[in-house]
Structure 1
């Protein structure tokens, strides 16, 4: 299976998007509610339907961008709210250039082929400003070849990120939605 642009377009067109819970996840909502700097530049990669974008904009954040190389979910965001179009980037995350204070992770990492994980870490580091952070959710179940989603573990995440990021938080999410309870880790990694 090749997880390319066509694969993701087909998933959205056939509505085989069981990862989409139809709203912002509780752990990310709780995290965003604690953010103080409304001027932070924020990126949400592999954003899909981008409910995090809606929530951030509704709460006064204006420098927020989502990136996805599937057009279908970006069109869905525009159908929900045409004013959000200026916050959308239709491109491959790995080709994107920019500088962000915060990158929010919600099901993007686990949707990538596992052989792209080191490239993901490097790209995250490149996109973040000095002392920038990547925060969000990573799955906590054994890595499988069947996916997406692909699993991962605390040990793997520490191994992948610790050379270029300070591990600030990496704990079992206490407020996951019921189907994901005990399967998600909330994390905050700060760029070294």
Structure 2
């Protein structure tokens, strides 16, 4: 399917046909390691384009209750509700990421950016900036392989990501992930970006 057709129907069909190669069945190791060092359980956290979001489940099990999971197809949100029956329905957001109107202390990026049509990347940066509270952080993983027209997933490079985010975020960490899962070894960059409160 052409990248211009990455609409709701496209993703619904992928879930329907179980064509979910990004679904590893447990929290991504680099994100789990990051979560493990968080001490403030009151943080308001967003996981956009979350899919089955084992990271959300892991956070919930570890006492983080102010978690919001966003996807614009229903099935992955239903899957989360089945696995975590007491997860508040109002924190499962079925809508387009770009329509979200809220603010968060931390946003976790896991295979959402790489699923977007590359022409939306600047919009993604601007939206992430607007969704974060002052000094909020965007943390996660980007794929580190050549950007081609075949995707998703769509790749990129450290240089490309640095150029894309540096105007509106302080680049705290942007480096090759040292603890990626075997299938993604040498293909991921781990990052921590902090929102700039004044930018032009």
Residue aligning to 1:114: 118
Alignment of 1:94-113 (within 5 A): 94-113=98-117
Query: Alignment partner for residue 37 of structure 2, among 34, 39, 42?
Result: 34
In the alignment, is residue 129 of structure 1 matched against residue 133 of structure 2? Answer: yes
Q: Summarize deviations over 1:102-160 as a string: whole Å, max 9, x none.
A: 00000000000000000000000000000000001000000011000000001111111
In the alignment, is residue 172 of structure 1 matched against residue 152 of structure 2? Answer: no
How far 1:31 moved relative to its partner? 0.4
Q: Which runs of 5+ in 1 are unaligned?
A: none
Residue aligning to 2:15: 12
Once residues 60 and 182 of structure 1 are traced to their aligned partners in structure 2, the CA distance between those partners, rounded to angstroms, is 32
- Calculate the TM-score normalised by the size of structure 1: 0.98
Once residues 191 and 79 of structure 1 are traced to their aligned partners in structure 2, the CA distance between those partners, rounded to angstroms, is 34
Q: Which runs of 5+ in 2 are unaligned?
A: none
Query: Alignment partner for residue 28 of structure 2, among 21, 25, 29?
Result: 25
Once residues 76 and 41 of structure 1 are traced to their aligned partners in structure 2, the CA distance between those partners, rounded to angstroms, is 22
Once residues 48 and 174 of structure 2 are traced to their aligned partners in structure 1, the CA distance between those partners, rounded to angstroms, is 20
Residue aligning to 1:43: 46
Aligned residues between the structures: 192
Query: Alignment partner for residue 68 of structure 1, among 62, 67, 71?
Result: 71
How far 1:86 moved relative to its partner? 3.6
Once residues 38 and 143 of structure 2 are traced to their aligned partners in structure 1, the CA distance between those partners, rounded to angstroms, is 23
Residue aligning to 1:87: 91
How far 1:87 moved relative to its partner? 2.4
How far 1:83 moved relative to its partner? 1.2
- Choose 43-52 or 79-88, whichever is displaced more: 79-88
Once residues 159 and 75 of structure 1 are traced to their aligned partners in structure 2, the CA distance between those partners, rounded to angstroms, is 37
How far 1:77 moved relative to its partner? 1.0
